[in-house]
Structure 1
């Protein structure tokens, strides 16, 4: 079970996903830094999505979806442009800062793939941003970044 706090600005896009996961403005994943102790979400686990978590006004955004897939991601800036590398979940890097830095410096060494411009735009939109440029403004000051993309799907009810 994972608790996830979101900025208020992302709640409408998550709610849109609950209504129609294929909608172009639907947010169906989250990008997160590794948790301390390597306790990462696993496929099949419920994901509890909130705004104002740990505050008086905490509110669940939607019924808990299920973690469907997880990937590793590197976001970094090279001179005047940004790069996003994504690939298979690297569980041996979770709680090891040195290994994280090695992956940031050489993401292809661990099998991560560099996204092209169109894929970066798609990632940004699926993450709740209007554009990749807006997403990079959000990440400004937090780079380089190593973390994970957690994709969710609707929970199936037992009949």
Structure 2
């Protein structure tokens, strides 16, 4: 289940490249031909939002873990660290001229996102109220934590129901 979830997270993290390309190229669903183009665009945008919501349900099947409050020595908000990456993705998708190039570019970025398996940053998580943190533990291990909690002081929060995505990435549902 963990591998499937990792594949799914990598897909959700990179799918916005396709959405930007489809909007740029003014693609439209055939069944919405008599409607204005922005109806198709709304569906393009809703697809990754729906898939991200689905990822929370799938995450319930991941292995459980916890993080004791006394084991956290450092907290760093990571929400803004990924903005340059996503701006890069958007600029790449705006520069792609045809669907075959898009497929290759998306495939390469997807494979690298999956193989890196260190972080699964999906900006749509922000719409669901989640935040991203780098947490340093007393054993000097730096982990990536996805949670709705607003963390400020190391040791204030305890995480009893974490789901382990990989050895360094956890989600608090």
Alignment TM-score, normalising by the size of structure 2:
0.27
Higher helix fraction: Structure 1 or Structure 2? 2
Larger radius of gyration between Structure 1 and Structure 2:
2
Higher strand fraction: Structure 1 or Structure 2? 1
Alignment TM-score, normalising by the size of structure 1:
0.28
